[in-house]
Amino acid sequence: MVRQQNTSGRAAWFWYVFFAVIIALVLLYVRFPEKEVRLFLAEKVEQFDPDFVLEAGRIKPWPLLGLKITPCSLVARENPEQRVIDFDSLILSKRLLTMFKSEKVYDFGGSLYSGKASGFVQIDEENAGPFKADLYLNEVDLNKYKYISLLLGRQLEGILSGALDVKGSREGLIDASGQANFVIGDALIKLREPVFGVETVEMQNVTIDADLGNRRINTSVEVLSNDFKGSLSGLIRLHTNIERSRLDLKGTIEPYAAFYQSNPKARDAFELLSSRMRNGRLSFAIYGTLKEPRFRLSAYN
C-alpha cells in the first residue's frame, strides 16, 4: 500500500512539473520580448561590424536556447538598398556546452534564395578575441542574390553549393584566413562588353577553390561548358573597399566546334589569333580592379 502511494506520488509530481514547464513555455512564447531581442541582435551586429545593419522580421523563441527570425536581412549601413544577404527564415541557437564559457558557439540554419544555408560561429564575447565560422550552402539560386551581381558589376546566374571556413579578427574581415570550395551549376554570366562577339556565357559547371590569407585570395577556377572548357588561377589582393581589390589572374580557354558554330564572329576572331594558340587553347590575363577588370591576351613563348 505504501509502495503504491509512493508511486502515485512520484507520478503526480512528474505531471505537475511537466505541466509547469509547458505553461512556462507557452507564457514565454506569448509574452516573448520581441522588441528587446531585436534591439539586442542589432547591437551585436553593430559591435561585430558597424558597416552593416540587421533587419529582423518576426522573432520567436526556438527549442534549446534558439530564435527563429522570419525574415532576416543584412544591409549596408551607408546604402540600405544594398541588401548583402536575405534569409526567408533563419534559426539561431547557442550550444548548451558553451553557455558558461566566454567563448560561445552559435549554430545557424535557414532558407536562403530558394536554397539552404547552415553553419556556426565561434566567438569570444568577453575578450573581443578572434572568431571562427563555417558556412555550408546547398542549391542557392544566384539569380535571386542580387548583391553578388552588384559586386561583380555584371549579372551572374546559377545554382551555388559549397562550403567556407574562415578565421579572423573582429577588427576587420580583410585580415581573415580560410578556405572556400564552391560549385556553380547551370551558370550564366553577362559580360560587361562583348568578347569575340559573345555577350553571354553559359556554363554547365564552375568549380571554385580559394585560400584566403595575408589580405589575398589565391584562387583556382575550372569551367566546363557545351561550347568550351577553361581555367583561371591567380591572386586577388584585397582592399578595405572591396571594389578596389586588385586582380592578377591568368587563364586558358579551349573552344569546341559547337562554340564556333553558335558564334560566327568568335570563329573569325579565333582564326586571326591562331598564332597565339597552342593545342587549341588561348591564354589570357585579367588585371585591374574588381570594379573595373581588364582583359588581355597572352602569347605563348
The pLDDT, as a whole number, for residue 31 is 54
More confident residue, 10 or 34: 34
38 with 27, same domain: the answer is no
Cβ contact 203:226 at 8 Å: no
How confident is residue 19, by pLDDT bands cut at 50, 70 and 90? Answer: very low
d(CA 160, CA 114): 11
Cβ contact 287:294 at 8 Å: yes
**Dihedral Cα 189, 191, 194, 195, nearest 10 deg:** -70
> Total structural domains in the chain?
2
Nine cell digits for residue 250: 591568368
22 with 101, same domain: the answer is no
Structural domain boundaries enclosing 119? 34-128
Asked, for residue 161, whether it belongs to a domain, the answer is: no
Asked, for residue 207, whether it belongs to a domain, the answer is: no
d(CA 205, CA 41): 38
Cβ contact 110:89 at 8 Å: yes
- The answer to which of 64-68, 219-223, 232-236 has the lowest mean pLDDT is 64-68
Cβ contact 106:120 at 8 Å: yes
Asked, for residue 81, whether it belongs to a domain, the answer is: yes
The pLDDT, as a whole number, for residue 2 is 44
Asked, for residue 121, whether it belongs to a domain, the answer is: yes
- The CB density around residue 121, as the number of other CB atoms within 10 Å, is 17
Asked, for residue 160, whether it belongs to a domain, the answer is: no
DSSP 166-208: EEEETTEEEEEEEEEEEEEEEEEEEEEEEETTEEEEEEEEEEE
More confident residue, 278 or 117: 117
78 with 101, same domain: the answer is yes
Which of 78, 94, 128 terminates a domain? The answer is 128
23 with 94, same domain: the answer is no
**Dihedral Cα 81, 87, 89, 95, nearest 10 deg:** -120
72 with 6, same domain: the answer is no
For 257-301, write each residue's pLDDT tens digit.
Answer: 777 777 777 777 777 677 777 887 888 999 999 888 888 887 654
25 with 48, same domain: the answer is no
Asked, for residue 118, whether it belongs to a domain, the answer is: yes
38 with 112, same domain: the answer is yes
The pLDDT, as a whole number, for residue 127 is 67
How confident is residue 222, by pLDDT bands cut at 50, 70 and 90? Answer: very high
68 with 123, same domain: the answer is yes
Nearest to 221 by CA among 210, 211, 213, 212: 210
Asked, for residue 55, whether it belongs to a domain, the answer is: yes
What backbone torsions phi and psi does residue 277 show, to the nearest 5 degrees? -95, 150
The SS3 of residue 113 is coil
Which of 102, 128, 154 terminates a domain? The answer is 128
Asked, for residue 93, whether it belongs to a domain, the answer is: yes
How confident is residue 192, by pLDDT bands cut at 50, 70 and 90? Answer: confident
What backbone torsions phi and psi does residue 40 show, to the nearest 5 degrees? -60, -45
User: Which residue in this structure is represented by grid cell 550564366?
Assistant: 188
20 with 44, same domain: the answer is no
More confident residue, 18 or 277: 277
122 with 43, same domain: the answer is yes
Q: What mean pLDDT comes out for the span 79-93?
A: 88
**Dihedral Cα 71, 76, 82, 83, nearest 10 deg:** -20
Which of 73, 103, 128 terminates a domain? The answer is 128
Q: Return all residues near 161 (Cβ < 8 A) that are at least 6 apart.
A: 115, 137, 138, 139, 140, 182, 183, 185
21 with 64, same domain: the answer is no
Nearest to 284 by CA among 256, 254, 251, 255: 251
45 with 13, same domain: the answer is no
- DSSP-based helix, strand, coil % in the chain, nearest 5: 25, 55, 20
Nine cell digits for residue 247: 586582380
The SS3 of residue 14 is helix
The pLDDT, as a whole number, for residue 29 is 47
The pLDDT, as a whole number, for residue 232 is 95
